[in-house]
Structure formats: structure tokens, C-alpha cells
Amino acid sequence: IWPLTSLRNAEFLANEVPGARVPEAVLERMRRADAGGTEAAHAEGIRIAQEVLEAVRGMVRGVQVSTPGGRFEVALETLGQLTA
């Protein structure tokens, strides 16, 4: 799971990373959030990652949460709302 940190990050993954797929609906959510500023886009990226985690929870035994730019706090923030 790669928590999106900004609209720019989402667009980069969608357009420049071979094999990465960012659905248009996710890009649109990030665009709307970006209109509210950097913090709003960051929060939306975390929410999206949490939604993905919840969606796959019953289908996997574990996940790897990436730390964009080595920022481990983003991974912790992503996992922070999950319960066992």
C-alpha cells in the first residue's frame, strides 16, 4: 500500500511508474482535496490508503505499507485507525 502524499505524487505514480495503476476516481479525489491545500491532499491520500487496507483485509494475511520518501510517520498514520 502506497499512501498518496499529494496530487503530484498520485499523478507521478499514474503517469511515470510502469505497472502502477491509479484509478481516475482516486486521481479526482486527490484533485478535489488538493484544492483545499497540501494538508487536505495528504489527509485524503491517507484516507484512500486506509480504505484500500479495509477493502483487502479479509483477502490477505498481511500488507506492506510503504514509507513515501522514507517518512515512516506516513505509514504509521495510515495504520493508526485500523483495529485488529
pLDDT of residue 66: 86
Entry pTM: 0.87
pLDDT of residue 82: 67
For 30-46, how does the pLDDT look when each residue is reduced to its tens digit (9 = 90+)? 999 999 999 999 999 99
Angle at Cα 14 formed by Cα 8 and Cα 15, nearest 5°? Answer: 90
Show the low-confidence residues of the chain (pLDDT under 70). 81-84
Q: How far apart, in whole angstroms, are the C-alpha atoms of residue 15 and residue 77?
A: 26
CA distances in angstroms from 65 to 30, 37, 48, 53, 54, listed in the order given: 19, 24, 13, 9, 13
Q: How far apart, in whole angstroms, are the C-alpha atoms of residue 70 and residue 23?
A: 24
pLDDT of residue 36: 97
pLDDT of residue 68: 76
